[in-house]
Amino acid sequence: MVNKVDLLFYYGEYDPDLLSYIDICEEFHEKLGFSKVQQLLLKGPFGKYYLIEGDSGIRTIQTILSVSAVLELLSL
């Protein structure tokens, strides 16, 4: 079962070079109340979805951050 949650979380000042997969999952857990993050999806600026897997997926986030200042991360 997938539930849609309308929630906006502003991360604030960040250094994209210091992003890590584990830290993003911890943000969903600690600040947004998710019990567990099984998958992270990123909606790019042109509506395309990307599966973020581990720290190698962070490069996808960094690339999209160079195009758009706003990211839409989805967690399952």
Q: Mind listing the pLDDT tens digit for each residue in 18-75?
A: 778 888 888 888 877 888 888 888 888 788 888 888 888 888 888 887 777 777 777 7
Give, in words, the CATH class of 16-75: alpha beta
pTM of this prediction exceeds 0.75: no
> What is the distance between the alpha carbons of residues 34 and 56, in angstroms, rounded to a whole number?
23
Place of tokens 């200042």: 69
pLDDT digits 0-9 by tens, 50-62: 888 888 888 888 8
Q: Which residues pair with 40 in a beta bridge?
A: 52, 75
> What is the distance between the alpha carbons of residues 18 and 47, in angstroms, rounded to a whole number?
25
